Amino acid sequence: MTQAKLAEAIRGLEKANQPPPAKKEAAIQLFYWVPNNGAAGQRGTVKATTTAACNGKSFPVGLFATDKVLVENAGTLSIADGKGSLDVAIPLGLAKGTLLEARIDANGVSAKTKSPFQIVDAGGGPIAVVKGADIYLDPRCAICRSGTRIAWGRRALAARKRGR
């Protein structure tokens, strides 16, 4: 009988007496890297979950190392159904151990990645550079399968032809 009386009382409340539902402002709730480490020159993905007020909006993403701007606009993160994802190119030439942060600051919304993207391998340059008849490797020498050290370039190739 008590439950019946409570249900009757709840149905009888006028909507005017109830507070209006809270309107959530546009905000990014979670902003993160997937994966959160890799080599310079590769691609990384930033993902976001947002409030419903962000649906249909797009936000430019910048890349930072501490407070230094590396890439002002690495791409645009578009939000649909409270979610967004953007593949970004990790800049070349970053030292191993560098920590990258992705940031959004536009349309009244600001966010930064929850944890940084860590550069685990400097990499990123060309493996071989051809200059005329010379071929240069980075690193400057390589080890062939037999364990012999091979240096590349006109002199090394000429010595190889002579049997050295």
Which residues pair with residue 71 across a beta bridge?
A: 63
Tell me the average pLDDT of the chain.
Answer: 79
Indicate the pLDDT class of residue 162, thresholds 50, 70 and 90: low
pLDDT tens digits, one per residue of 87-96: 999 998 888 8
- The identity of residue 11, as a single letter, is R
- Render pLDDT for 38-87 as a digit per residue (tens, 0 to 9): 998 899 999 999 999 999 999 999 999 988 999 999 999 999 999 999 99
Q: State residue 66's pLDDT score.
A: 84
- Which one, of 25, 28, 27, lies nearest residue 114 by Cα? 28
> Residue 113 has what pLDDT?
95
Separation between Cα atoms, residue 103 and residue 153, nearest integer Å: 44
Q: Higher pLDDT residue, 99 or 22?
A: 99
Residue from 119, 117, 111, 116 nearest 60 by CA: 111
pLDDT on residue 62: 96
pLDDT by residue (tens digit) across 98-132? 999 999 999 889 999 999 999 997 655 555 566 77
Distances (CA, A) of 60 to 57, 70, 77, 111, 162: 10, 14, 6, 11, 58
Residue 140, pLDDT score = 46
**DSSP one-letter code for 113:** -
Please tell me the CATH code under which domain 28-121 is placed. Answer: 2.60.40.10
* Vertex 38: Cα angle to 35 and 43 (nearest 5): 75
Return the bridge partners of 143, or none: 149
Query: Is the CB of residue 74 less than 8 Å from the CB of residue 62?
Result: yes
Tell me if 36 sits within 8 A of 64, measured CB to CB.
no
Q: Say what percent of the chain tops pLDDT 70.
A: 68
Radius of gyration of the chain from its Cα atoms, rounded to whole angstroms? 28
Domain boundaries, the chain: 28-121, 128-161
